[in-house]
A and B are shown apart, each in its own frame.
Chain A
């Protein structure tokens, strides 16, 4: 291997006039090193202001008795120690039992929505990665749910699932005649599945977009070589596509998982301020405790528990699954 001859270290020679230019260079390197930090400082400050400070306030609220008596001057709200946590986590109490039910339900909701959204996303991405007529049309079509404001679309879903006048029941009862009487979609057990449907509809285009970008970055030659070797389409998918989009997948699943777990808009717009028991997720429950029942302390305690749980899960996920820094340079 050729060796590069390095200049002798600067200290070995006495300082000569021409070294002045080096000194200037060094100081400019020093300045260069600080420049990015100086530029990122405003962003870091805003991040602190927008995310970290409210989060810390939320943690603090969890230790206060914050109701209508203290809300106007909440800095002086009485400190109650762990009382809010005891109320929130007592499985026999009305709030604690709702919390644990909601936790399990939210977990199931997240798994279902992420799994279905991802599957639809990868299917469409692989399909549209190849060139065919009408490809552009489908790409645009698939992105429509992502481009529309979720407020509008969720309300449209709520109209469609209305028991008496909704399109879904009209179709099932009057057009197809499968059912004698229209079931309730926004009450009871069905409401959970309606929520899953709406969430999948809303989130799958994002999965599709991310996966399409990843799939398109795989060189065609790899597939050509594989098909010359006689690999089936399924084999190509499992042995080439999946491993090669692993990094995109890992990030996508984490993001989708967190978004879906913290989902608030969909249940709020579908059901109003109070979700049916069978479809109460964690975020709406926290909202209900805080804003409907004016019990901000308990709402805060529930949020803190949720935050810790999500942090632990995310930390494990990142350690175990996320690619290490080294592999980013690969």
Chain B
């Protein structure tokens, strides 16, 4: 039996613990109320999760802060901004969807649009909601098509449009006597090999032809899509079943992986990189000569680096047409309104502000992306060589990522499968096309039934 002294003490401990627990929960309640009040006040405040588009979160806060200031002056509505880094954005959205507690307005990677649409957690842009943001006609059609599955009202609207391109260090090209950017995959490999060398004669290669982020799943999945299409493959069958192991996709993924493997034009240390935003640095530092990216201009600009140029991603076959001439996905960032928002009118007003011609021009100029609203898209301000080339790619050589609800899982699983092959190569293993097929097969088996 515990002694009375013990019971007494126990009582005291329990009392203290309960008080502590109660005060903690009270604190939690306070903070909950504080953060929740933002969306509760009608016309007062809304919250906005922006993706990290600038060279840093701070830069985003500056750029968007100015835009929000203009909005607040116009409408009196306050906007609480949070810039969410890419590594966290998808999970943050997922948590918001499952808990029903999220921001009023948020940015999404446009390739997630159909997956997120299937959750039913976002406002469909049709009827009044679509009117409130200026109607469907104002958008560039290809960009608007990324807003959700075909035949359904989009649950996201295009905010910034982008396309992949081959970015390269012009100085390194000049030094190697390379006159123009490669147009076919064979030319690309030859160029990359020429640029892979030992510059200080210490017996070690210190400059590589190409750079990639081996552990960044989204970039790997995009490469699988583009190079797979060029090889005549598609990631899904026409009726929406995952099909990662067709010959076209396997060849495309194998081409991507062998850049580090057989051809050796990518440094093995790239297998460790899980953040795509470090790639511009690789080019600026002279570690590599080329890389694929969507809009690295702002990073170059922020560093005052000008020795770069862009060309379309090389084609497997120079005479390719149709699917095989794919050089990019219709990439971009979309904006959505959360269905559970307490202040949808204010949220829609803010989306309308972001999609106004003036804001589209300002924001896209700062982020070195392209506007998704036709009037701004056609503006001569977006007429540099790079922007013209991107516009042409988007018009003629880009396709949207598969518009099926399991696209999100596909990006994760295919991206991970590729990341694992890079890790194996870095460890000194040789990866064959059969290994690639096996890895893609495993990824496909883990796909949920749609």
Q: Which residues from chain A sit less than 8 Å from chain B, CB to CB?
A: 35-36, 39-43, 46, 67-69, 71-74, 93-95, 162-164, 184, 186-189, 272-274, 276-277, 291-296, 329
Contact = CB atoms under 8 A, between A and B. Distances in A.
Contacts of B412: 292-293
Interface residues of B, number: 50
A187 to B, nearest CB: 4
A42 B20 CA distance: 10
A292 B416 contact: yes
A43 B448 contact: no
B405 A184 contact: no
Contacts, number: 114
Given A71-B97, A291-B94, A46 B272 contact: no
B258 interface: no
Contact of A187 (B87, B271, B405): B271
A277 B445 CA distance: 17
Contact of A272 (B90, B121, B274, B409): B274
B448 A294 contact: yes
A330 to B, nearest CB: 13
Contacts of A184: 268, 271-272, 423, 426-427
A295 B448 contact: yes
A32 to B, nearest CB: 8
Nearest to A70: B119
Given A188-B426, A277-B423, A294-B94, 13 more contacts: A35-B11, A39-B11, A68-B115, A68-B116, A71-B121, A72-B97, A95-B446, A188-B427, A274-B416, A276-B423, A293-B413, A293-B448, A294-B448
B65 interface: no
Given A187-B426, A291-B91, A294-B408, A274 B217 contact: yes
A167 to B, nearest CB: 15
A41 B445 CA distance: 49
Interface of B: 2-3, 7, 10-11, 14-15, 17-18, 21-22, 25, 87, 90-91, 94, 97-98, 100, 115-116, 118-121, 215, 217, 267-269, 271-272, 274, 339, 405, 408-409, 412-413, 416, 419-420, 423-424, 426-427, 442, 445-446, 448
B318 to A, nearest CB: 35
25 contacts: A36-B11, A39-B14, A39-B18, A40-B18, A42-B18, A42-B21, A43-B17, A46-B21, A68-B116, A71-B119, A94-B446, A95-B446, A163-B268, A184-B272, A184-B427, A186-B272, A187-B271, A187-B272, A273-B217, A276-B420, A277-B423, A292-B416, A293-B409, A293-B412, A295-B446
Nearest to A297: B448
A71 B98 contact: yes
Which 3 A-B residue pairs are closest in the complex by CB-CB distance?
A164-B269, A40-B14, A72-B121
A12 to B, nearest CB: 26
A183 to B, nearest CB: 9
A94 B413 CA distance: 12
A329 B3 CA distance: 9
A48 B37 CA distance: 27
A36 B100 contact: no
A294 B423 contact: no
B14 A69 contact: no
A294 B21 contact: no
Nearest to A191: B423
Contacts of A43: 14, 17-18, 21
Contacts of A95: 446
Contact of B446 (A71, A277, A293): A293
A240 B380 CA distance: 86
